[in-house]
Amino acid sequence: MGVSIFIQQVLNGLTLGAVYTLIALAFSLVMGILGILNLAISEIFMIGAFIGFSLIMSGVPVWLALPGAMAVAAVISMVIARIGYEPLRNASHITPMLSTLGFSMILQNFATNTWGSDPMQLTLEGWLDTRFHFGLVSLSVVQIVVFVVTLGLCVLTALLIQRTDIGRGLRAVAENRDVSRILGVRPRRMILVAFALSGLLAGAAGVLVGLHYSVITPYIGVDIGLKAIAVMIVGGATNIWGALLAGPIIGILEVLTVAYGGAAMRDFIVYGMMIAILLVRPQGLLGGSSKTSGGRV
pLDDT at 49: 95
pLDDT at 149: 95
Contact 257, 251 (CB under 8 A): no
Three-point CA angle 63, 69, 72, nearest 5°:
140
- Average pLDDT of the chain, as a whole number: 89
Half-sphere exposure of 204 (CA within 13 A, CB side): 27
Task: For residues 89-108, give the mean pLDDT.
Answer: 89
Backbone region of residue 135 per phi and psi (left: phi > 0; alpha: psi in -120 to 50; beta: other values): left
Residue 289: pLDDT band with limits 50, 70, 90: low
CATH class of 2-295: mainly alpha
d(CA 244, CA 223): 19
Which segment of 76-85, 127-136, 208-217, 228-237 scores lowest on mean pLDDT?
Answer: 127-136
Residue 102 pLDDT exceeds 50: yes
Distances from the Cα of 252 to the Cα of 9, 10, 14, 31, angstroms:
7, 6, 6, 25
pLDDT at 297: 60
- Domain boundaries in the chain? 2-295
DSSP 170-203: HHHHHH-HHHHHHTT--HHHHHHHHHHHHHHHHH
Greater pLDDT, 173 or 125: 173
pLDDT tens per residue, range 219-261: 999 989 999 999 999 998 877 788 888 999 999 999 999 988 8
Task: For residues 67-79, give the mean pLDDT.
Answer: 97
Nearest in space to 38 (alpha carbons), one of 162, 231, 194 = 194
d(CA 177, CA 158): 21
Task: For residues 141-147, give the mean pLDDT.
Answer: 93
Residue 290: pLDDT band with limits 50, 70, 90: very low
pLDDT at 204: 96
Contact 150, 202 (CB under 8 A): no
Half-sphere exposure of 48 (CA within 13 A, CB side): 33
pLDDT tens per residue, range 120-143: 998 877 777 788 888 888 899 999
Residue 292 pLDDT exceeds 60: no
Q: Residue 120: which H helix or E strand, with range? A: strand 120-121
pLDDT tens per residue, range 155-170: 999 899 988 999 999 9
Which segment of 101-105, 130-134, 147-151, 274-278 scores lowest on mean pLDDT?
Answer: 130-134
Residue 175: pLDDT band with limits 50, 70, 90: confident
Distances from the Cα of 193 to the Cα of 101, 119, 187, 272, angstroms:
20, 33, 10, 34
All residues at 6 or more sequence positions from 293 whose CB lies less than 8 Å from its CB, including other chains: 171, 174, 175
d(CA 82, CA 16): 32
Handedness of CA 160, 242, 108, 40 (dihedral sign): negative
d(CA 99, CA 249): 31
d(CA 248, CA 17): 4
